[in-house]
Amino acid sequence: MKYVIIGNGIAAAGAVEGIRSQDKDGAIAVIDGEQRGSYSRPLITYYLAGKRKAEQMRYRPRDFFVQQGVTVIPDEAVQIDAQARQVILRSGQVVGYDRLLLATGASPIIPDIPGAGQSDWVKTLYTWQDAEQLDLLVTPGQTAVVMGSGLIGLKAAEALYQRGMKVSIIEKQSQILPRILSRTSADRVSEHLQSGGMEIITGREVTRIHEEHQVELDDGSRIEAQLVIVAIGTKPNLALAADCGLAVERGVLVDSRLRTSDANIYAAGDVIETADILTGFPSIMALLPLAHQEGFIAGQNMAGGDCAYPGGLSMNSVNLLGMNIIAAGSPQISGQTWLWQQGEQYLELVTESGRLVRYIALQMPQVTGPLTSLIEKQIKLPESFWQEFISRPGLNRLQPYWEALKGVQDNDHRRCWAI
């Protein structure tokens, strides 16, 4: 059996491990368009901040692919001939396959505003190469503007701030981290960042980037900026899939085995559209743990396994200027909101019919493991429990449920992807 994986990120590493769990001898080729090896994309902001060296960026060791018997091809895939089962590379090389995995990831969205793509001091921060280019432009004491306040934007802002730059964050929504935090929790995070020295402007949008190092907002005001980072979101890399006739919508469409509309082609990671396990609705979930899990399950199934992927749970964890922020669940589900706060600690829970559907925890990482499991398993608890817990939240109150959860096994899902 010949396996080909397009992409060399987290999902690709998971797929190699999934294939090898079923097939020890099949030929595996990884097409590495970035030519950087398997590295952890969330670490690029730490690299930019000077907190990680090059060798610390790797998701798997340098010899990982050698140990797994994988051939890495440093080239870019430009076309898939699904009928002939071939991948055509930019160099002209043709790579045949029996099973193919699309792990092509996503790319930053560049807004259609004057000046956004025309100046060498306007950058994105999504790849290792981006971080290297930005490193050359960082000048302590100068001003940087970050467009967007998602996780990438805020971590980029933190890295520049820690390198000595003055940082202004522009967010067109009325709060920062609009897809992750509630308004109340976002206000607390904003206060923390601003007290640390960052400027945050919400409810405003960049309309033009001027050559004379100025950023113009929709109210006509201008901000001096020697450096601009565009971080308004990402979009799945769909061109290869769409051009070869695979079914795509916002992402590549896959079934519960992570097969595409072509039975010989699978997909995993940031490029796919999958189901939110809480709502059942299609969603793009660009999360590192899910990318590896999807890759592993896809790899097993490519090698003859029969493992189901139930969908993903949105969960994000980040540390910003010393504030630990963890959130999980779906903001689309309304329910009873429970709040607790003491000093820097803040906990917000949302329950629906006794089931936890969302939490936001600031400076309280100790309770998030059990809370995440309660969401995943959708265990129903009486309202009296939540009333008592929120009055004095602590791990000891969740411990009985946490211990019970450790023994719960999904008949096919957990068995298939546990490593």
Q: pTM of the predicted model, to two decimals?
A: 0.91
Pairing of strands 27-31, 199-202: unpaired
- Backbone torsions φ then ψ of 193, nearest 5 degrees: -70, -40
Highest CATH level, class, for 2-107+235-302: alpha beta
Tell me what percent of the residues of the chain surpass a pLDDT of 90: 81
Distances (CA, A) of 40 to 46, 105, 286, 287, 297: 11, 13, 13, 11, 19
* Contact (Cβ atoms closer than 8 angstroms) between residue 249 and residue 238: no
Mean pLDDT of the chain: 92
Packing angle between helix 383-391 and helix 395-406, nearest 10 degrees? Answer: 130
Q: Give pLDDT, residue 302.
A: 98
Write a three-state SS string for 44-73: HHHHHHCCCCHHHHECCCCCHHHHCCEEEE
Q: DSSP secondary-structure letter at 256?
A: T
Q: Write the single-letter amino acid at 219.
A: D
- Pairwise CA distance, residues 226 & 114, whole Å: 17
Which stretch of DSSP H or E encloses residue 288? Answer: helix 288-302
Token pair, residue 84, equals 């002939």
The radius of gyration computed from the CA coordinates of the chain, to the nearest angstrom, equals 22
Q: DSSP secondary-structure letter at 119?
A: -
3-state helix, strand, coil in the chain (%, to 5): 30, 30, 40
- Pairwise CA distance, residues 105 & 276, whole Å: 18
Q: Give pLDDT, residue 414.
A: 34
Domain 333-414: assigned CATH number: 3.30.390.30
User: What would the pLDDT profile of 176-233 be if each residue is shown by its tens digit?
Assistant: 999 999 999 999 999 999 999 999 999 999 999 999 999 999 999 999 999 999 999 9
Longest Cα–Cα distance of the chain, Å, equals 66
User: What would the pLDDT profile of 117-150 be if each residue is shown by its tens digit?
Assistant: 778 999 999 999 999 999 999 999 999 999 999 9
Domain map (residue ranges) of the chain:
2-107+235-302, 122-232, 333-414
Q: Band of the pLDDT at 403, cuts 50, 70, 90? A: low
Distances (CA, A) of 192 to 9, 76, 157, 350: 33, 43, 14, 24
Contacts of 77 (CB under 8 A, 6+ apart): 6, 31, 33, 87, 88, 89, 90, 104, 240
* Lowest mean pLDDT across 43-52, 141-150, 257-266, 326-335: 326-335
Q: Give pLDDT, residue 413.
A: 34
Contacts of 243 (CB under 8 A, 6+ apart): 79, 80
Closest alpha carbon to 112 in 236, 9, 208: 208
User: What would the pLDDT profile of 304-317 be if each residue is shown by its tens digit?
Assistant: 999 999 899 999 99
Q: Band of the pLDDT at 410, cuts 50, 70, 90? A: very low
Domain 122-232: assigned CATH number: 3.50.50.60
Is 122-232's fold the same as 333-414's? no
